[in-house]
Amino acid sequence: MASPPLTPSPGTVAQEADYLSPTSPNEDSDAVLSPAPEAEPEPIPGIDGTPVRWYDADRTEPYTRIMPFQERHDTTVEFFYKPITLTALAALLIILAYTATTQDVLEEGRDKRTVGVYAAISFFLAFSMLQFRDGPFIRPHPAFWRAMLGVNLLYELALVFLLFQDLDSARSMMLHLDPSLGKPLPEKGYADDCSLTPKVLWNALDIFCVAHTLGWFGKAMILRDYWFCWILSIAFELAEYSLQHQLPNFNECWWDHWILDVLLCNWIGTYVGMKTCQYFEVKPYSWRGLRATRGLRSKARRVISQFSPHDFTSFQWGPARSFANYFSVVLLLAVFLAAELNPFYLKSLLWMEPDHPIVILRLVFIFLCALPAVRELFQYVNDSRRAVRMGQHVWLLLATVATEDLVIIKWSKGQFPAPLPRAVKWGWGVGLGILVLYPIVQFGIPAVRKYVRKQKKRLRNKAE
């Protein structure tokens, strides 16, 4: 007798659906915001058609459970996606035991405290790669982005520790990382000769222009929006104008601000970055297995493609659509400005040159952490039906930038005695006034009018 077909019962399907992630319900990572195919019905938002707002969400319900992002893995390399936590733990313990018990034999007289700190950091990052929750990206491997989250957490813990130290103690602690530090930096400005001549322009072109361009390429890859990048570019130059009384290296010539920085370096970096985003957005993705590809060139191309996005989502922030979108854009703009300005203050307070490896590593680390963080923020604002709480990357990055601000505010007491110019006060006051006035006109007044019309209609119906 033929056995009946193995079809799951409706109850089983419902139980499986309960455990799907609200942020990535069995879909491929960065494509969770893409529209559903025409053949499939549009899912009903919320619960039984009723939208669920963040302050109404019941954290005990299944729809609030966040599960790791999933994808259909290449079965030919399935080993790299299988959990190997116990095997990794055994390997880590063996390495730790060997290193700890043979240090005296290998290097006599070496400071064991440094080795112990590095071992603790390595073990924590290994734990992050194995046990942290997956983020929105899966290329080149989810473990890489878990490690980035672990690096962010370590940096945040270091900032919290430094927050309780005075500036002199912090400077002495930096000597443990680099003995060449601990020396005051010479005052350096960029407005000594503002004549617009070919010789002066040529001397202004240095390695920092290349770094500036690469930085804006990275910002374009993070924000994925032309207008947002231009607003941020102009806002940063205005911030330099308003803070040049504290940091001499913000004192630049007018053409250095608007021609060399905005129209040259920023524009080139933003343009190339947005073109790269457009390429990834329309790129045909064919994730064939490694064994299915024939020829050495095809296999090499498949390996290289592992380091490109699995899929790509364009960002449309739409600050004029709703107050939530407007608030998220203003918040992201403020966080980006703070993240850009903080390294200038930290290197000035801790006496580090702009090209010091610690400064460069901090910039690279912020870029890698901002990629998944902004992606999570965009989904949290624009797809609250699936993301009912803020993602871990954006939450931790907000905490990191805010802690940097607290450290700078504490250490800046007595370091920048120059008073805030009156023109800067008026400028910041006008800017903040516009930021507050716009949502009132765009969202507040229409909401009040709608409420008044609703009340008049209710009173009219009641009178009839």
Cα 429 to Cα 415: distance, rounded to the nearest angstrom? 24
Which residues are bridge partners to 190 per DSSP? 252
Tokens of 61: 């319900």
Say what the pLDDT of residue 134 is: 82
Say what the pLDDT of residue 165 is: 93
Cα 66 to Cα 156: distance, rounded to the nearest angstrom? 23
Contact 308, 93 (CB under 8 A): no
Say what the pLDDT of residue 461 is: 83
Residues 6+ apart with CB under 8 A from 65: 19, 21, 22
Say what the pLDDT of residue 22 is: 39
Between 32 and 425, the higher pLDDT residue: 425
| Mean pLDDT value of segment 101-109 | 58
Cα 153 to Cα 397: distance, rounded to the nearest angstrom? 9
Range from 342-346, 434-438, 460-464 carrying the lowest mean pLDDT: 460-464
Contact 94, 115 (CB under 8 A): no
**Residue 296 confidence (pLDDT) above 60:** yes
Say what the pLDDT of residue 69 is: 40
| Mean pLDDT value of segment 351-376 | 91
Range from 231-235, 306-310, 322-326, 355-359 carrying the lowest mean pLDDT: 306-310
Percent residues over pLDDT 70 in the chain: 72
Check residue 78 and report its DSSP letter.
G
Say what the pLDDT of residue 57 is: 53
Say what the pLDDT of residue 67 is: 42
**Residue 458 confidence (pLDDT) above 60:** yes
Residue 156: pLDDT band (50, 70, 90) is very high
200-to-192, 204, 210 alpha-carbon distances in Å: 10, 6, 18
Which residues are bridge partners to 252 per DSSP? 190
| Mean pLDDT value of segment 121-126 | 90
Q: Please identify which residue in the block is written with the tokens 């010539």.
A: 253
The tally of CA atoms less than 13 A away on the side-chain side of residue 119 is 15
Residue 58: pLDDT band (50, 70, 90) is low
Percent residues over pLDDT 90 in the chain: 28
Q: Which among 183-197, 198-212, 267-281, 288-302 has the top mean pLDDT?
A: 267-281
Looking at this protein, which amino acid is placed at residue 13? Answer: V
Tokens of 206: 């240095």
Cα 420 to Cα 412: distance, rounded to the nearest angstrom? 14
How large is the angle between the packed helices 226-243 and 267-282, nearest 10 degrees?
A: 150
| Mean pLDDT value of segment 300-320 | 64
User: Whats the size of the chain, residue-wise?
Assistant: 464
Residue 252: pLDDT band (50, 70, 90) is confident
Element (H, E) at 397: helix 392-411
The SS3 of residue 47 is strand
Between 22 and 448, the higher pLDDT residue: 448
Tokens of 102: 């043979």
Q: Which of 315, 320, 373 is nearest to 148 (CA)?
A: 373
Say what the pLDDT of residue 61 is: 53
Tokens of 78: 């399935």
> What dihedral do alpha carbons 227, 233, 239, 245 form, nearest 10°?
-160
